[in-house]
Amino acid sequence: SIPITVAPSPERLAKLAALPGTGLSVSTLPTNAAQILPGPFVPLDPPSLVAAELSDAMRDTVRLGAESLRDTTGNRPDARTQIFRRLDNPSFLELRDSGVDRLVLDPESFANPKGRFTVASPFTIQSGNTKAQAVMNDQALATAMADTDSPALAAQRLIAGATLVSLESPASSRGRGCR
């Protein structure tokens, strides 16, 4: 078996679970709560919300996402880990203040995400004395999986992309993330 972490959209999952005859049940999702990555109930732009002084709304939407996943799957996701497309310094500090200390971020959150190798290992982000562990979402793998109607082709593309990343530095043990 291959360990996998999924980041389902809490809103979509709740809507699917409410539809009769979808076949969605707790048994179709991973049984270990650590394998389900929580996120906000709907997509958020934390920098915009914090700039508009809507930090409470951001925290409520993040909490609602975790509660929705718990109610839909029967497992309690770790609310200390969150996935966001982008963050800036003020929104990062707001999330840390609300207990989030592990992040999955898209490359657009960083000034210079490109390097010789694909960023595949966890790293630390810091603002002053405030730190959090993070991993970068692999946009190329996510795009390769999303651009097809065939689940088998999407799985093949994921395995091929992950293989290429592993060949960049075969001696290192690294994780991958795609959304």
The string of pLDDT tens digits covering residues 15-26 is 877 777 655 555
Residue 60 sits at φ, ψ, to 5 deg, of: -65, -40
* pTM score, whole prediction: 0.69
The candidate with the shortest Cα–Cα distance to 166, out of 108, 120, 101, is 120
CB-facing half-sphere around the CA of 157: CA atoms within 13 A: 18
Specify whether the CB–CB gap between 84 and 110 falls below 8 A. Answer: no
Q: 23 in the Ramachandran plot: left (φ > 0), alpha (ψ -120 to 50) or beta? A: left
Cα separation, 72 vs 69, in Å, equals 5
Angle at 116 (CA atoms; ends 173, 105), nearest 5 degrees: 65
Q: If you average pLDDT over each of 8-12, 45-49, 73-77, 156-160, which comes out highest? A: 45-49
Strand partners, 135: 104
Q: Which H or E run contains 57?
A: helix 55-73
pLDDT at 133 over 50: yes
The candidate with the shortest Cα–Cα distance to 8, out of 60, 66, 85, is 66
Average pLDDT over residues 145-150: 66
Cα separation, 144 vs 49, in Å, equals 30
130 confidence band (pLDDT: 50, 70, 90): very high
